[in-house]
Amino acid sequence: MWFLWALGASFCAAMLAECNRKFQLDPRLLNAWRASFAAVMIAFAWPIMVWPDFSVNRHFYAIAGIDGVVTAIGMIMFLSLAARKTGRVSSMVMPVAAIG
């Protein structure tokens, strides 16, 4: 089941890289679209997800929040660099990100 979500995320990442290469849009706008697609995808998976108990695993939620912030900043920096270098960066990095 999770394979479908991973496959969908990989296709979204490839589409994002191609849009950035071709249209050179604002990196913050592209990151907002990426987050929107991720929110829709996780909304479909929400009913079958098992979340850790907050009182026992507070560190899980703290790390998840920090990871979200770092990922957002990293994607904005990456997309900005890819737009300046006309997509050469995204064509090298996005296939690796989709696999790993």
pLDDT digits (tens, 9 = 90+) for 3-51: 777 777 777 777 777 777 778 788 888 888 888 888 888 898 888 888 8
- pLDDT, position 88: 64
| Nearest residue to 76 via CA among 29, 40, 38 | 29
Q: Which pTM value belongs to this model?
A: 0.69
pLDDT average, residue stretch 56-84: 85
CB atoms within 10 A of CB 34: 20
| Nearest residue to 90 via CA among 6, 42, 7, 34 | 34
